[in-house]
Structure formats: structure tokens, C-alpha cells
Structure 1
């Protein structure tokens, strides 16, 4: 009989961490596991659309609550051999973690480092994290934090980079004239869309012709629309179909201030698009010279990098082809899932 794993998604909004879990659930059987899901109400519909057929229990959001009896009851009913908890940030899913650790050998996957507090708060968090049999990070910074600040033994940690669905055929640049620059994600300070708009304003002032499409929604939407006044920028709203969005642009920009290894960048590479990215998380090590990487928060450098691609169609084509090759070789969600379940096999042993 294959081992059973329950995955806990205690999230209040859909994002890259939830996409990660949907890939993991989709590929669980390929690695010999039977998966089920315990999911908070705010993101339940997203999982229902992306992984239909996975046995699922919907529970109230427990994030920031002191206790999660609904999560505990759902996990007990699923009777897993192991539990994997999606960790939005180090401290916010404590009640779900407690429920998981009371059920079966438990692992956590931390997508971004964050505030671990101080004094008694950090000691309580350290006690919680050392109760995991395994803590995975999607970037090296996340692993370093749980080892250095929370005392998890290094041998009980691992790093598995994000992966994405790699289409059999790359859409490549759409061929718009003027070229169309695309970006999408949550419209929040973390994603740096204000920096991207500042770079676009510089490009327009220099006489460049381009169109810009920004997908996503979030609390900063109104402020960003105000910043985009007078610029050739269109906001498309939430991106339900990332491949369709990417198929309609000629180059991609990621302007984030904080990330691990951002899925949107990997998806753009898999689509065969030339990409510009800030040097967040593990981007530099993961993309090599197949993406143009600029310092975090450097609006002028971002503008220069985009300008270089706008004015050189040959380089755009070369960068897009190289990005695609790397994505096919190293960034598939099937590879990510195999690496993750291999570590979870160790958890059971």
C-alpha cells in the first residue's frame, strides 16, 4: 500500500505557495504516494479547479489563531502516514502546525524567510519547528533561517527549488510592435511593481516605444494605477491562465523586492520569453546567465536592462531560447515533486 500524505494549506489568498502545492498534489502518485488535502476556505476554490479529484476537506482559516480544532479533526479523519504543512511565513501557521504534529510525522515547507520574533516568542516558535521531522525551504535563505534562528538540526532540513509546468511547445515572444512587456503577481509592495512603473517612465522619457501589461490584484492596486497615469500600461486583473498571459507578451520582467525562486519567472522562462529579474532569493544561482539579473530595488538598472532588450530583437530571441532550454532541463514541476517526495520518504523511515 502506498503511503498516505495529507497536505495542509492554511492560506488566506492564492499565490505562488499554493501553486507549488497544486503541483505537488498533481504529481504525488508518480512518486508512489496517495495525497489528500486540508484547505482553508479562502483558497479552496483554487485547489478545486487545479487538482480536481484529490480528496479534500475544507476548514476555516486558522492562520494567526491560537488553536485549529477543525484542522486537527480533518487530519484525524484522513488518517495520513505523514502531514505536510504549507508555511506562509515562519510564525503565522502555528496552530495548523500543532495540529499536524499531533496527527503523524510532520514536515513543513517554508516559502520565504520572515520575522521569527525575539525572546519567548522565538523560543515558542523554535519549540514548534524542532517538532518537525523535516523542514523544506524553497530557497537557501529559508533553510538558513530555520537552522540558524529556530535551531532545527540541519540534517532535518532540505531545499527543493520551485518548479512549474513546462509546456511541450514554447509560445515564445508574441511579435507585437511595439514590443509588449508583461509582469504579473500580487499588487503589493513585495512585488515591486512601483519600481517597474518607475523604470517604464524612464523608458518612455528616453523615447522607447513599448506596451506594458500588468496582471494581478492586491491592496496596492489603486496606488499603482495612479503611478501608471500617462504611461502605456494596462492592468488586466487576476491572471487565471498564466500560459495565455505569457503567450501575448514579448518579454517579461520581475521587479520583486523579496522572493524565494519566483514561479512567475520560471513560467516565463518555460514559455521561451526573454526575462529581466531582480536578484531576489535563489534567482542568481538558478538562472545563470539565461536571464538578465539586476540589483533589488534599482529602478535605473531595471530600466537599462529592459532598454537593452527592447532595442535588440536578436538578443531577445537568444535570451528567450536559452531561458527555455534551462527551464526544460531544470525547472519542471515533476522534477520538483520527485525531489520533495524523496525527502518525505526519509521522513517515514
Structure 2
């Protein structure tokens, strides 16, 4: 089948920098299955460009007007050979361009939502539903879609509350690239190693995470927290960490290519997440694959997996998050049981299953 994937970015020509690994895993598997894949990126590079990636043709709109450039590229390629399906990732700019194309050509549209499309969090200026323009374009995209998908049952339920019917298809990990590793028992008296993988921003809510670390310090837990992710807040989280007296416990590593992250997952005892909203995160699946359980706020996959494969607490509850971590620090048998549960959940949501589910959906809609 000839497939158009419309994405904001994440498909850099390097294949390693500025990429979304789970998107690359999907592209690779679609091509391997014999599909003809064309990727339309709105903002991968500042200038228009075209390159091959994992057997797919990538076109980058680059310069404004990006949505119109993307639409023109879709129509031009469609004239060379009809697309069987168009699949947009996000209801924002990629979804708008894909929806316009679908309306003009009657090619079935699938929209996969990352989470922020359907919500409004004015206190942190997050969500497409905050503005009239955002609500209009989201409605335009979703009303055109033949199918809407989300990554977690929690997100599917959230969508249903506002009248959006969606199908849950988790975005899994490529086990040939990120192989299974049995959970490792933590030695007696060993320092607790915590890992947080997320960009530093207000929706990931690192303030709540730091409050949890304060709780651990006050309770006398020996721990180290490694934080990996791009800083979008100009050092605010680091300054807050210093103000709370946590510099001896917390290490900021900044952005790190995905290929370099595996050792950090393997040496961790727990992945800790504090998001205010989330449809994944994929990092919980990656951690589960290497036998590391997640403790986090009750959103996305973390809410789905709790209590057997993850521990969840209320959003914004730093003390509760700290207490949950402390309990696992003191009960290694409970942590190991959670680790095996996380690995079982993660290996049943791998990239092969993701691709199979999407291909089945493509075939149904194209027919």
C-alpha cells in the first residue's frame, strides 16, 4: 500500500539526531512489510528538503506556509500514484494539512493524538483547546478523520469525555533495537538510582518531581536522580533544584541522543515521571523492557499499568510521589514484582504489534 505519514518532525536525515524513535520504528517496519512510505514533515529543517530514510521518502516543508507546502506535496505525489491512506501524527498543523488533503482526494485519514490536542491547561499555557483557533483546527481535523487513535486507555477515556471516539493503539518499542533484559535485584544498602527522561517543561512538571526528592531526603533515603532531556525553561528547574538543596542528589544531563540512553536505563532502579498530562510515555515502555518499573503521576500508560506494572499517584502530589518511591526503596521484593509486571506489559506492546495494528487499520479503511 502507498502510505502518507504527516508529522511535525522527528525524521532527521541523520536518523539519530532530532528524531522520534518510535516513529522511525514504525516507518522501518512498514517499509519492511512491503509498503511504499512517504513522510511529509512540516518543520524538520528550516528550509524545504527531501531525503531517503529507512527506505521511505521524506519531504520537509520547512519554510512558511508549511501547511500549504505540505498539502501541495501530498497532492503532487498523489497525482503520481494514489495514496491508500494518509496518517497524521497530531491534530495540529500536521493534522490540518492531512485533513485538507483527505477532503480534496477522499483518501481515508487516520489521526494519532499525542495528548495535548484535546485539553486546555491555562495555568501552564498548554493544550490546543486553549484558543478559538486551536479548537477550530482540531475540530476540522478530527471531523475529517476516518479513525482517531491514542496511545493509552487512559487517553481514550479522556477523549470520550469530550465526545471524541478513539481507538487505543500503544506506540511500542522495537525489541530488536531495544532488547529485553531481565530485572536486576538491587543490592542491600545500595543507593537508590532514579531516572527521569523528559524535556524540562511545565507539562512534565519537574517541580512536583523535585518536591518528591525533597521528601526522600527528609526521610533519609540514599538516592541519586539522573535527569535526561532538553531544557526548554532556561535553567529554571536547575535553579529550583539548587534552592531546594538537592544539588548533591540530582544530576542534569541535558539532551542525549536516544542511542546513548540505554546504559542509563539499565543502571536505574526506578523510572520516575511527574507529568501533568501524558498519553504515553514511551519511556515507561523502554524502562519496562529493561526490567525497570515506573513510579509516576496517574496519566497515560502509567495509569493504565497501575497497580501491577507501575505505581501511580495524583497529578501534582510531590509528597505522594516521594512516599511511593520510598516504599519501593524499602521493599525490594515489591520493586522486583513490579519490574516483572512492567516488563510483561512492555513486551506485549512492542513496535511489531504497533505496526501490525496500524497496517490492519490501513487495510480496513482503504478497502
Task: Specify which of 202, 205, 220 is matched with residue 207 of structure 1.
Answer: 220
In structure 2, do the counterparts of structure 1 residues 147 and 280 end up closer, same or farther at CA, with 3 Å as the change threshold?
Answer: closer
Question: How many angstroms apart in 1 are the aligned matches of 2:171 and 2:73?
Answer: 27
CA contact (8 A) 1:11 1:61 kept: no
Aligned length: 334
Determine the structure 1 residue equivalent to 2:70.
71
Deviation sequence 1:107-163 (CA, Å, 0-9, x none): 2111213344687975664344222222222234655676675x77x5xx4221221
Displacement of 1:236: 0.7
Residue ranges of structure 2 left out of the alignment (5+ in a row): 120-127
Determine the structure 2 residue equivalent to 1:275.
294
CA contact (8 A) 2:229 2:253 kept: yes
Determine the structure 2 residue equivalent to 1:165.
174
Displacement of 1:96: 1.7
In structure 2, do the counterparts of structure 1 residues 16 and 170 end up closer, same or farther at CA, with 3 Å as the change threshold?
Answer: farther
DSSP-derived class of the 1:191 partner? coil
In structure 2, do the counterparts of structure 1 residues 61 and 252 end up closer, same or farther at CA, with 3 Å as the change threshold?
Answer: farther
Residue ranges of structure 1 left out of the alignment (5+ in a row): none
Question: How many angstroms apart in 1 are the aligned matches of 2:341 and 2:366?
Answer: 39
Of stretches 247-256 and 23-32 in structure 1, the one that deviates more from structure 2 is: 23-32
Of stretches 267-276 and 176-185 in structure 1, the one that deviates more from structure 2 is: 176-185
Question: How many angstroms apart in 1 are the aligned matches of 2:271 and 2:329?
Answer: 11
In structure 2, do the counterparts of structure 1 residues 220 and 121 end up closer, same or farther at CA, with 3 Å as the change threshold?
Answer: closer
Question: How many angstroms apart in 1 are the aligned matches of 2:287 and 2:264?
Answer: 10
Displacement of 1:269: 0.9
In structure 2, do the counterparts of structure 1 residues 203 and 93 end up closer, same or farther at CA, with 3 Å as the change threshold?
Answer: same
Instruction: Report the TM-score, using the length of structure 1 for normalisation.
Output: 0.83
Question: How many angstroms apart in 2 are the aligned matches of 1:17 and 1:4?
Answer: 23
Question: How many angstroms apart in 2 are the aligned matches of 1:50 and 1:270?
Answer: 30
Displacement of 1:74: 2.1
In structure 2, do the counterparts of structure 1 residues 53 and 32 end up closer, same or farther at CA, with 3 Å as the change threshold?
Answer: closer
Do structure 1's residue 240 and structure 2's residue 257 form an aligned pair? Answer: yes
Deviation sequence 1:48-75 (CA, Å, 0-9, x none): 999533221121166xx6x723212322
Determine the structure 2 residue equivalent to 1:198.
211
Do structure 1's residue 40 and structure 2's residue 42 form an aligned pair? Answer: yes
In structure 2, do the counterparts of structure 1 residues 6 and 120 end up closer, same or farther at CA, with 3 Å as the change threshold?
Answer: closer
Task: Specify which of 326, 331, 346 is matched with residue 307 of structure 1.
Answer: 326
CA contact (8 A) 1:13 1:43 kept: no
Do structure 1's residue 331 and structure 2's residue 345 form an aligned pair? Answer: no
